[in-house]
Structure 1
Amino acid sequence: MAFCLRIALCFVAIAIAIPAESQQTLTTVPQQQLDVIKVLLAQEEAWNRGDLEAFAQTYKDSPDTLLISGSVSRGYASLVDAYRKNYPNREAMGTLSFSELEAHPLDERFAVVVGHFNVERSKKEGGNAQGIFSLVLEKTAKGWKIIVDHTTS
C-alpha cells in the first residue's frame, strides 16, 4: 500500500512540475516520467530490504554501464562488485531514501533523473551518508534501466 501511495505522490509532483508551455503534452510526458521514477522507488525498496541483487537489477546488464562515484566502474559486473565491496551486509547498507527527484525525458528511449539520497546507518557501519546523483536511463525490452549513475556525497 505504501508503495502505491508513493507512486501516486510522485505522479502528482511530476504533474505539478511540468511547465505551462508543456501542458499540451501532459497526456504523454507524465507516464514516461512516472515509469522512470518507479525505477528509483524499486531501488529504494530493494535496498531497504537488504536485497542488493534486486537493487542491481535496475541497472542495465551491459559492459557499457557506468557507475561514477569517486572512481569509475565500467560494466554491470564491476558495478555489482563495487556495491558488494562497499556494502557487504545489511547493516552497512543502512536505510536509503531518495528526495527531490526530477525526471527529464530526453526522447522515447532515454531519460535523465536527478535527485538527493540519504543513507542512515550506525557510526560503526560508516555513519550516515547523503549526496546528489544524476542517472541516465534507457528504455529496454526489460523496462527502464540505468546506464550511467553519477553519485556524489
Structure 2
Amino acid sequence: MNTTRDAQQAIRELFTAMEDAWNRGDGNAYAACFTQDASYTAFFGTVYRGRADIAGGHQALFDSVLKGTTMFNEIVEVRFYGTDTAVVLGRGDVGKKRPGKLPKVQTYTLVRDADGQWRIAAFQNTKRNRLMEGFTFKVTPAAAPRRS
C-alpha cells in the first residue's frame, strides 16, 4: 500500500473503525485506533497518554456521561509527510444527534505503525468559538486566516 490513494482509503477506514468503536461504547476498540504511545488532548484540556490510558478513560466515559452517544466526523484535509506520516484536519462532535454544524476542530497526526496499519499518534480537539473568532477578525482583520 504505497500510493496516496491507497493510504487515503486506509485512513478513511481507520476513521470508520474509530467511529464504530465509539458508537458501540468500546473503549478498547476505540483505543486500538491509536499508537501505543499516543497523546490525546480533549477539547477541555484533559490529556491522555498512551493506548491504555485512552482505553480506560474512554470506557469510563462510555459507561457514564457518553453512554449512547454517536461520533460525527468530517475529514477536511489529509496531508502526507512521506509515506508513513499524515496530518488530518477535521471537524467533529459527539452526541445523541448530529448538530447542524460540527463545532470542534480536530487535528490528527497519523503514522503507519510497524504492522503496516495507520494509527493516530496524536490528537488535538478544540471547540470552535465563532463569536470570539468573529470579534477578533473584526478588530484585527489581518489575523484572519487566508482562505484557499
SS in structure 2 at match of 1:43: helix
Q: CA shift at 1:107, angstroms?
A: 0.9
Describe how 1:128-143 pairs up with structure 2 within 5 A. 130-142=103-115, 143=117
For residues 103 and 56 of structure 2, the distance between their equivalents in structure 1, rounded to whole angstroms, comes to 21
Amino acid at match of 1:133: Q
State the partner residue of 1:117.
92
Identity %: 24
**Aligned CA distance change for structure 1 residues 134 and 91 (closer, same or farther; 3 Å):** closer
For 1:52-63, what aligned pairs fall within 5 Å after superposition?
A: 52-62=27-37
Alignment partners' CA distance in 2, 1:73 and 1:90: 17
Task: Give the CA deviation at 1:71.
Answer: 2.6
Q: CA RMSD in A?
A: 2.4
Scaled by the length of structure 1, the TM-score of the pair is 0.67
Report the CA distance shift for 1:93/1:60 in structure 2 as closer, same or farther (over 3 A): farther
SS at match of 1:78: helix
- Cα distance per residue 1:106-130 (max 9 Å; x no partner): 11111111111121228xxxxxx84
The residue identity in structure 1 corresponding to 2:22 is W
Match in the other structure for 1:150: 124
2:49 corresponds to: 74
* Aligned pairs, number: 119
Q: Please give the secondary structure, in 1, of the residue aligned with 2:36.
A: coil
TM-score by length of 2: 0.69
Segments of 5+ residues of structure 2 without an aligned counterpart are 128-148
